[in-house]
Amino acid sequence: MPSVDILILTNGPGEIATWVRPVVRTLRQQLKDDRDRVRISVVLSPCPNASGKEAEIARSYPEIDRVQAAKDFWAFLFWGKTAQNWHWRKRGVVLFLGGDQLFTVILGRRLGYRTVVYAEWEARWHRWIDRFGVMKPEVMAGVSPKYARKFTVVGDLMAEIQRQESQRRDPPTPQTELIGILPGSKTLKLSQGVPLGLSIAESLHKQRPQTRFVIPVAPTLNIETLARFAHPKYNPLIRQFKWTTGELYWNEKKFRIGEISTSICLKTPSGLNVYLWTQYPAYELLSQCQLCLTTVGANTAELGSLAVPMLVLLPTHQLDAMRAWDGLPGLLANLPIFGSPFARLVNRIMWFLLTRKGKKTRFAWPNIWAGEAIVPELVGRWQADEVAELAIDYLDHPEKLQEMGDRLRKVRGKAGAAEKLVRLVREELKLGRSTELV
């Protein structure tokens, strides 16, 4: 009986956590855990938003057999040689879950494998790709009728996070009010996000002493590095804006979610303990939060997929804050010589555009998906007390949090995309329901 290879192409941290994770789980559920018959390999391509830890995260998924880091991608693409000189079976599928869809065409031809692409917003290379699993019917608009048979609406992979995590644990029953603080993973986001987040937490705690706070630590950071952003010796913005400091502290009273616990905190001058959560992904933790305070980026996508209410902070206290933003503005702001003047100019322009009446620019992913404001975006030099008051208003009116959560669920669509996408892979491999190769 012949064996097969499934090669997954992906790139950034968001894709690894929200696309690859549910798909490999479903592959193993449906194809069993027979590694001699079905081998799953992940190859990472370069990504401007990459943290450098993507390969390590992928290796932590027990369903995956082999992982190659992004630094070795080009040699594989151009010459077909992996860093560890992997052997490839004669039969297989290249499955696209992030990066450039053209890579799927090239590697599918090189290996002689069938090709399947998950297309969230846009599907390309219709002629050369064998199957497309698309998020919504709109992605199929403009597709030539002769290629229509290749397309299947599978739904939203990100919606799988909530479904799979809920199946793996009991429904959340929080004993206390829990607020998550997600300051980001890049230095220029952390320099503002960590002390501002601690300041908001202190302001909130004064009025709601029952509330507990936790920071899910990005997998690219260690706790010592994160703690430096809460210390004025290493972060001059703290004194400049009179933000709250925090010292690394091991608390005798542990904070626990399910079977995971932590005693590591950032302790503020008032004695407030903000716990640090190093388990990744932190979906079980985030699902327990009544509200999260987050910066822009992949965090908003993951919180939206989990239907967790959030306040999205885009602080402009530091004139060079645009260096930490994603996309073209961030790239231009980091140019040598011209970067700092550009960052100052763009900050002023963006402040005008984003705060003028009637402007509909959106930066949080749920708002981009919906084309309207589902979650509040707080742009500018917001004071900690102001953000705390807004958070308290939501906490005092749980019906508002419920409405936000319901709208987040609606905008991402129904779950089930992983099963439908895996069905396409099985069809291309000619795998029947009994997983027998035919």
Share of the chain above pLDDT 90, in %: 57
Q: How far is CA 369 from CA 363, 374, 407, 418, 435, in A?
A: 10, 10, 11, 20, 36
Return the pLDDT at 399: 96
Return the pLDDT at 157: 85
Per residue in 279-323, pLDDT (tens digit) is 877 888 998 999 999 998 878 888 988 889 999 998 876 544 444
What is d(CA 14, CA 48) in angstroms, rounded to the nearest whole number? 12
Return the pLDDT at 13: 79
Hey, which CATH number is domain 169-412, 3.40.50.300, 3.90.650.10, 3.40.50.2000, 3.30.70.1110? 3.40.50.2000
Give the architecture (CATH level 2) of 4-155+416-429: 3-Layer(aba) Sandwich (3.40)
β-bridge mates for residue 277, sequence order:
216
Per residue in 70-80, pLDDT (tens digit) is 999 999 999 99
Return the pLDDT at 349: 52
Per residue in 44-86, pLDDT (tens digit) is 999 877 778 889 889 999 999 999 999 999 999 999 999 999 9
User: What b/e sequence results for 205-244 when a residue is b if at least 16 CB atoms lie within 10 Å of its CB, and e otherwise?
Assistant: beebeebbbbbbbbbbbeeeebbebbbeeebebbeebebb
Rounded to two decimals, the pTM is 0.73
Of 340 and 87, which is predicted with more confidence?
Answer: 87
DSSP character string of 300-316: HHHHHHTT--EEEEEE-
Residue 415: pLDDT band (50, 70, 90) is: low
- Per domain, the residue ranges of the chain are 4-155+416-429, 169-412
Q: How far is CA 279 from CA 92, 172, 183, 258, 402, in A?
A: 33, 17, 16, 12, 27
Residue 34: pLDDT band (50, 70, 90) is: confident
